[in-house]
Structure 1
Amino acid sequence: MHLAESETSSSSPESRLLAAGLSLPKAAAAVANYEPCVITGNMLYTSGQLPWIDGQLKFKGKIGKDLTPEQGYEACKLSTLNAIAQLKSALGELSRVIRIVRLEGVLNVAPGFTEHAKALNGASDLINQIFGAAGAHTRMIYSNPEMPLDCASLVVLWTEINHAEGGQYLPS
């Protein structure tokens, strides 16, 4: 979903989240020995973000077997909301995002399921809605026969950022 240029230039990503009736969850801590996100130069990379709500996986299982394609779309959307929460945590303000450069999605799909692109549109649609023109991104879809914690989706964002408005992320 693309917003008209006039809509995106007059409002912040945070205000577009509110207008969409969404709120960011608390950025999830790492579940193993890694950083949830890293900034190098003018790029911020998130680690894979799962479809969490309050520390619990909302979407588990294989899309096309345990979950419908529509639930796969929602799983990707929720994973992306968690990725955006990582951006907000690291940057302070989502207006520091210059561009979402790349979206990578890893999906837990049943044999024979071929609607990967439609499921990952849950992520792309949210990115475009929240970031407008700055959300225009490349993307890659992977599928995996077994996923961490049997999650339905995992989303990674590569994000170009503006350092002028704040400091650099330092892991706590």
Structure 2
Amino acid sequence: MTPQERLTELGLTLPEVTSPLGAYVPATRSGDHVYTSGQLPTVNGELKATGKVGAEVEAEAAYDLARICAINALAAIASAAGGLSNIVRIVKVTAFVASTPDFTGQPKVANGASELFAEVFGEAGRHVRSAVGVTVLPLDAPVELEVVAEVR
């Protein structure tokens, strides 16, 4: 099954690439890799939630927000790579989780993105990852994701 077929089976479609909030591009290709800028949990240009995980945002909701970040990252990667079918594998994911000082579940939040990549790409979706707790993210987003993908 192709990644596009898997997305369809999951009931997902790639959204339009979100416009940058500043002087940068959503993704750039360098050789056989595409690097994304930070991807927020936006749907149709609207941030799905704001606040800190462990306070205003429950961990389970943040997991779902990380999935949204992942689908936005796939759209940005596909745009830079010439399509979803040109993504060979997901190499590295960095998840930033705006969280309260006592929240330590950043890896579980990041699993929302990691599991989506595995569902779409199978073994090629398994990657190295960092999950980092931070004080605040742009627009008060609870989650932000950066991704490196190998492309053809």
TM-score (norm 2): 0.96
Partners of 2:2 and 2:28 in 1: how far apart?
A: 23
> Which one of 37, 56, 75 corresponds to residue 65 of structure 2?
75
Q: Which residue of 2 aligns with 1:104?
A: 94
Deviates more, 1:91-100 or 1:36-45: 91-100
Question: Could you list the runs of 4 or more consecutive aligned residues of structure 1 that deviate by over 3 angstroms after TM superposition?
Answer: none
Q: Which amino acid aligns with 2:71?
A: L
Q: Specify the alignment match of 1:149 in structure 2.
A: 139
Q: Calculate the aligned-residue CA RMSD, in Å.
A: 0.9
Q: How does 1:9-24 map to 2 (within 5 A)?
A: 11-24=1-14
Letter in 2 for 1:148: P
Q: Choose the corresponding residue for 2:115, options 125, 132, 142.
A: 125
Residue 39 of structure 2 contacts residue 73 of structure 2 at CA under 8 Å; is this kept in 1?
yes
Bigger-Rg structure (1/2): 1
> Offset of 1:92 from its aligned partner?
3.0
Conserved in 1, the CA contact under 8 Å of 2:92 and 2:128? yes
Q: Which runs of 5+ in 1 are unaligned?
A: 1-10, 163-172
Matched, 1:44 2:34: yes
| Aligned partners of 1:38 and 1:46 also within 8 Å | yes
> Which digits, 9 at most, give the CA deviation of each residue in 1:43-74, with x for residues without a partner?
10000000001111002110110011100101
Structure with the largest fraction of strand = 2
The answer on whether the counterparts of 2:78 and 2:86 sit within 8 Å (CA) in structure 1 is no
Q: CA deviation at 1:91?
A: 2.2
The answer on 1:137 being equivalent to 2:121 is no
Give, in whole Å, the separation in 2 of the partners of 1:147 and 1:156: 13
One-letter amino acid of the counterpart of residue 98, structure 1: V
| Equivalent residue in structure 2 for 1:87, among 77, 83, 88 | 77
Q: Share of identical aligned residues, percent? A: 36
In structure 1, C-alpha distance between the alignment counterparts of 2:88 and 2:71, rounded to whole Å: 18
Contact 1:24/1:82 (8 A) holds in 2: yes
Deviation at 1:87, TM superposition (A): 1.5
1:95-115 deviation line (CA, Å, top 9, x unaligned): 211111101101111120111
